[in-house]
Amino acid sequence: QAFFCLLLCVPWGSSCPPSCQCTEQAGAKAVLCSSRHLEEIPKDIPKDAVFLKLDANSITRIPSNAFRHLSHLEELDLSRNAIEKIDRAAFKGVAAGLRTLDLSSNRIRSIPKEALLALNAKLRLANNPWHCECALQEVLWEARLDPDSVQDITCHTAPREEYVGKPLLQVLDAGVNFCSMHQRTTDVAMFITMFGWFAMVIVYVICYVRHNREDTCKHVEYLKSLPSTQGHAE
């Protein structure tokens, strides 16, 4: 009975994942999970965590609602992982309270704009293999980037070879608009699709007319080959 009483009396929010270290920093709880060979985000992070360090691990994905229960979270470090995918609702529930979010030095090529909605945190995105396109440009319009890391956001791939290897900010400052390029590409694709359908309709009509003409000619020849009614009367 004393054991169960002890379990009930211990606040669940103060527990600490076995692979992490939990400490107090100026009265705020810090959860340190750096370099612990983690492949996913721990499920049992204390609810009262204010600082969370998950850097230098092997995390590949940030799933939806991964931090939703951490209503006090202010600083989140996910740098130096192997993150490739970030779900649209990855930061749901903590976006408004975050002050810093470090996603630098991962394998991120693109990030959904929805993942950053209502995100007020200073964002670090440097040293990722970014694909420079309209989606990334829209992310930069929405996000509050850390000024010290902006120059390290470079184009690993891009619609044009001339942009590869250049800082994204430099490309945008030169007047490049990936969204207008995307719109032109979409318009061309729609035009080609419409032209293809139009060509198919024309071919179908021509084939239909030729087929009917051949049937008509055969029918006329058949009628000509029939004995006339006058010959039968004689």
DSSP 81: S
Helix residue spans in 10-142 (DSSP H):
134-142
pLDDT at residue 193 in the model = 53
- This prediction has a pTM of 0.72
pLDDT at residue 204 in the model = 66
Q: Round to whole Å and give the CA distance between 171 and 134.
A: 13
pLDDT at residue 8 in the model = 34
pLDDT at residue 218 in the model = 65
Percentage helix, strand, coil for the chain under 3-state DSSP, each rounded to 5: 40, 15, 45
Tokens read off for 33: 């999970």
In this predicted model, what pLDDT tens digit does every residue of 181-223 receive, in sequence order? 644 444 334 444 554 555 676 766 677 666 677 666 666 666 6
DSSP 113: G
Burial class (CB in 10 A: 0-12, 13-18, 19+), 70: buried
Q: What is the mean pLDDT of each run of 10 residues along the chain (234 residues)?
A: 37 74 93 97 95 98 96 97 97 93 97 88 96 90 88 94 94 91 44 54 69 67 61 49
> Per-residue b/e over 98-132, b at no fewer than 16 CB within 10 Å?
beebbbbbbebbbbbeebbeebebbbbbbbbebbb
pLDDT at residue 109 in the model = 97
pLDDT at residue 188 in the model = 39
pLDDT at residue 141 in the model = 81
List the end-to-end C-alpha distance of the chain, in Å, as a whole number: 124
Query: Which residues lie below 8 Å from residue 132, measured CB to CB, with a gap of 6+?
Result: 155, 157, 158, 159, 163, 168, 171, 178
pLDDT at residue 203 in the model = 67
pLDDT at residue 74 in the model = 97
